[in-house]
Structure 1
Amino acid sequence: MTDTLSIKAQLQTCRSKEETFKTLVTLSKTLPRLTAEEKTEDNKIKGCESAVWLIIEESHGIRHFKADSDAKLMRGVLVAILSLVEGKTLTDIQQMDLKAELAELNLSSYLTSSRTNGVLAILGKIASN
């Protein structure tokens, strides 16, 4: 996966809704697909407009994430979200203002109220024990 600074820079340089959309679709291609076995009800995020699955694995206190969605745009948003939290400890993640970090990525025009609820559900699961 591309590093956080690069993703942040790519999204912040977008000057139009169309440019942001193209960037998100391009980013979506960098997210490895989950297997059918990984797309379980337990891994599914409730409250998302599209189907979204999130797997959190922890090794030596460091969190690693796998995610997928049936929607390209949401996969791009997942890449942006995961770039902020991948490889951090739960404590580090809980001390971050993830909503503010996401706001800096120019995604607001894509986060309709139903998508915002889904993103908040994703952020909630990422920051939970």
Structure 2
Amino acid sequence: MTDAIHLKTQLQACRSKEDTFKTLVTLSKTLPRLTAEDKTEVNKIKGCESAVWLIIEESHGIRHFEADSDAKLMRGVLVAILSLVEGKALTDIQQMDLKAELAELNLSSYLTSSRANGILAILEKIQAPKQ
């Protein structure tokens, strides 16, 4: 998993929407694919423009995430989101302003209103207590 500091530097270095797009597509290749068995309705995020699946495992109070999407751009965004929260306790994740963190990553120009709704749904699931 790409660490948040390195990823932030990479995305903040982008000078255009095209640079950001290329960087996100490159990042998307670092996200391990989920198996067909993991791509269930239970794991699917509702409200996303593209299909997105998110699996949250919790062990000893620490959250671990797996995610996938059928869209390369969204897979890159998932890498960015997961770099912020992977390996953290739920209480720490809940105290984070994830929308502000994403804005710092230069992603706001890329998030269309329909895509932004999906991102919000992902962030809500990440910050929600275990189901």
- TM-score norm. by structure 1 comes to 0.99
Q: Distance in 2 between matches of 1:104 and 1:85?
A: 15
Q: Which runs of 4+ in 1 moved over 2 A?
A: none
Match of 2:35 in 1: 35
Counterpart in the other structure of 1:128: 128
Deviations 1:55-91 (A, max 9, x none): 0000110000000000000000000000000000000
- How many residue pairs match? The answer is 129
Tell me how far 1:108 sits from its aligned partner.
1.1
Alignment of structure 1 residues 12-31 onto 2, 5 Å: 12-31=12-31
Q: Which runs of 5+ in 1 are unaligned?
A: none
The aligned runs of 1:74-93 (5 Å cut-off) are: 74-93=74-93
Q: Supply the RMSD in Å over aligned alpha carbons.
A: 0.4
Partners of 2:109 and 2:99 lie apart in 1 by: 15
Q: TM-score, normalised by structure 2?
A: 0.98
- Measured in 1, the distance between the counterparts of 2:64 and 2:7 equals 18
SS of equivalent residue, structure 1 residue 125: helix
In structure 2, stretches of 5+ residues that fail to align are: none
CA deviations over 1:29-64 (Å, ceiling 9, x no partner) = 000000000000000000000000000000110000
Note if 1:59 corresponds to 2:52.
Answer: no
The equivalent residue for 2:3 is: 3
- Percent identity, aligned pairs only? 87
